[in-house]
Chains A and B, each alone.
Chain A
Amino acid sequence: GAGVSQSPSNKVTEKGKDVELRCDPISGHTALYWYRQSLGQGLEFLIYFQGNSAPDKSGLPSDRFSAERTGGSVSTLTIQRTQQEDSAVYLCASSLASWAGNTIYFGEGSWLTVV
């Protein structure tokens, strides 16, 4: 596609339920990132993929959060047993390569509300 595509765009879930958020990066981009943005806050790094491997998972806030990437393309971020503090916009981004200076392109985000 022309840009980074994320789905769903909005998700309301009950506390304790699991959610899956999907990201389709720009075609040919080998690096993929997940960030979280809470209301009125900055962007918090979650995890980074190079191809299908995740060399940097340091930003995942707890073991309820996991992510995978398959075929060097689509990525899924899974949040298990959601809590109200998980409510945020989850942003996916991709870049052509993983070295600094590559432009990182963001999707429009998946807005997650946990009630």
Chain B
Amino acid sequence: QQQVKQSPQSLIVQKGGISIINCAYENTAFDYFPWYQQFPGKGPALLIAIRPDVSEKKEGRFTISFNKSAKQFSLHIMDSQPGDSATYFCAASGASGSRLTFGEGTQLTVNP
């Protein structure tokens, strides 16, 4: 059972544009929602994370929006840059301690 669903599978944006990736979860026991960034040949690295007691968290050009009632959260990348081209994974934990359940990933390409 896929507990975290992520879309789109791939995304192409122009430099300077806004990239938006969406995730939906099923298990209401989840209480921590991180986003990971993965470059080819590297392991995933934490980008930004949010808890459900806030609706938005911003760190530089990256923002998480969280809708608890809809069980959805999204990543917004403002002023997207070619260096942001990577695969992004949403995740959730709390139902089983710190173990992360990941979405399927979004391959982002930012064209110069």
Contacts and interface: CB of A to CB of B under 8 A. Distances in A.
B99 A45 contact: yes
A115 interface: no
B89 A42 contact: yes
Interface stretch (A13-21, A64-72, A75-83, A101-109): A101-109
Contacts, number: 65
A106 B98 contact: no
A18 to B, nearest CB: 24
Contact of B42 (A42, A45, A56, A108): A108
B93 interface: yes
B92 to A, nearest CB: 9
A56 B98 contact: no
B41 A100 contact: no
A113 interface: no
B46 interface: yes
A65 to B, nearest CB: 17
B101 A109 contact: no
A100 B46 contact: no
Given A43-B89, A91-B43, A108-B41, A101 B98 contact: yes
7 contacts: A33-B99, A45-B99, A101-B31, A101-B32, A101-B93, A104-B46, A104-B98
Interface of B: 6, 31-32, 34, 36, 41-46, 49, 51, 89, 93-94, 96-105
